[in-house]
């Protein structure tokens, strides 16, 4: 099944950038797309995009294009999510999640989440 371990909580000022890491173990990192999903306090889940560790290809929803970048370092089985030009509305828990093609590309393994707080 595997495991995803994320970086620790972070506090940023408005206008800054944040970079969240997601280290995988227990499965072949290059074989599965990695997604990032965020959850604002008391709110639902919001999909931020995926990265293909094998090729580096990415896909982002329109809302985040130009502001988020997903990358991977296959030498250490780690994915990264960088979000720029932060505002207080970006305060959320950020999850990474592994896609599993045998489950119809559903997200079958989730990290514990990284809490990001943006203050003005």
Q: Is 117 helix (H, G, I), strand (E, B) or coil?
A: strand
Taking the least distance from each CB to other proteins, the nearer of 76 and 106 is 106
Question: Residue holding tokens 């173990």?
Answer: 25
Closer of 72 and 114 to other proteins (Cβ): 114
Closest to 36 (Cα-Cα) out of 90, 93, 97: 97
Nearest-approach distance from CB 100 to other proteins, in angstroms: 8
Minimum distance from CB of 41 to other proteins (Å)? 13
Cβ proximity to other proteins, 13 vs 104, nearer residue:
104
Q: How far is the CB of 62 from other proteins (least distance, A)?
A: 7
> Hey, CA dihedral for 44, 38, 52, 74, is it positive or negative?
negative
């Amino acid at each position: 099944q595997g495991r995803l371990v994320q970086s620790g909580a972070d506090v940023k000022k408005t206008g800054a950038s944040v970079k969240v890491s997601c280290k995988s173990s227990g499965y072949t990192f290059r074989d599965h797309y990695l997604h990032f999903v965020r959850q604002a306090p008391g709110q639902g889940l919001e999909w931020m995009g995926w990265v293909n560790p094998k090729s580096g290809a990415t896909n982002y929803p329109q809302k985040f294009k130009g502001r988020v970048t997903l990358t991977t370092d296959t030498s250490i089985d780690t994915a990264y999510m960088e979000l720029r030009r932060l505002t207080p509305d970006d305060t959320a828990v950020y999850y990474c999640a592994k896609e599993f093609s045998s489950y119809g590309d559903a997200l079958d393994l989730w990290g514990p989440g990284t809490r990001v707080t943006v203050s003005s």
